[in-house]
Every structure is written in structure tokens, then in C-alpha cells.
Amino acid sequence: MDEEYKMDQMEQQWLGRAVRWCAQGEQCSPTVRGKLREWGATATAVEHIVAYLVENGYVDDGRYAALYCDSKVRLQHWGRVKIAAQLRAKGLDKVIVDEALAGIDEEEYLEVLHEATEKKWLSLNESDPRRRRAKMMSFLAGRGYTMEEINQALKEMNAEY
């Protein structure tokens, strides 16, 4: 943080709030910037506070993106396409998003895809095989899986059912 810059009392309060907020749960710098602006911080104060938070380990975009990917794959069974879109929508740098996506455990990712496919397949009440396949494709695409991943999962499902 710039040693010459001295925070006034209000900026110190924003910093304290931001530190407490970031300590409660992982945050990314674009979200923190937005929250500080919401609290009324000036642009200069926002940048100095975010710099302080990054320097002191309260905010780490790479760590945030990796945890986000892990939780979305495990808990919500999302695919890489949807995860990447959501991380980019948050304002994270493409390099950070790509690194986080590369960190997804491939074996676990495919297992989650298989589980989601099997669960949905069993819940569909469609007798026409083409419509059933179309519904499956739509469901999995909405979850953020690529067509290649979807086709492979459906191919495995046909082998089992």
C-alpha cells in the first residue's frame, strides 16, 4: 500500500468493515470494489483499501476462483462453461479463470457429470427416445457442459440402460 497515503476516519471504517467481511468468507476484488462503492467509498479509497486487502491476504482472486470452481462442481454439478461464464461475469481476469478451471480434478468432474446425467435420466418421464435425449442435452447444456461431454455422458448412459 502507498506509504504516503493516509486514510481518514471514514476510510478506516470502510477498511475495518471490509476486513471483517472478507474474513467471514472468500471474496474477489471486483466484488469487494462493488461493496465499497455501495458503502459510499470514493474511487481513491476503494483502490487503496483493495490494495491493502490483497497485500495482507484478505483477498486473492486466484484462491477465490479455485474455491468457486470446486464448490460449483461438487455442490451444484455445474460444468466448466457455466462456471467460466459466472467467474467472468464477476469481473475476474481471463487468466485467473483459466487457471482455476484447469485446477478442476478431471476424474471428480466426470463423476459429477455422470451422477447428474444418471439422476436426470431416471427422473425423465418421456417415452420417445429422441425427446428424452433432447431433454437430457438441454438439461446438461444448461448446467454448463460442452456438447462433447454431453454426448460422451449420454453414450455411457445408453450402454447402461
Per-residue pLDDT at 156: 87
pLDDT at 161 over 60: no
Distance between CA atoms of residues 78 and 4, nearest Å: 46
The residue with cell 478451471 is: 101
Per-residue pLDDT at 33: 97
CB atoms within 10 A of CB 132: 15
- 44-60 per-position pLDDT tens digit: 999 999 999 999 999 99
Q: Give the residue with greater pLDDT, 124 vs 64.
A: 64
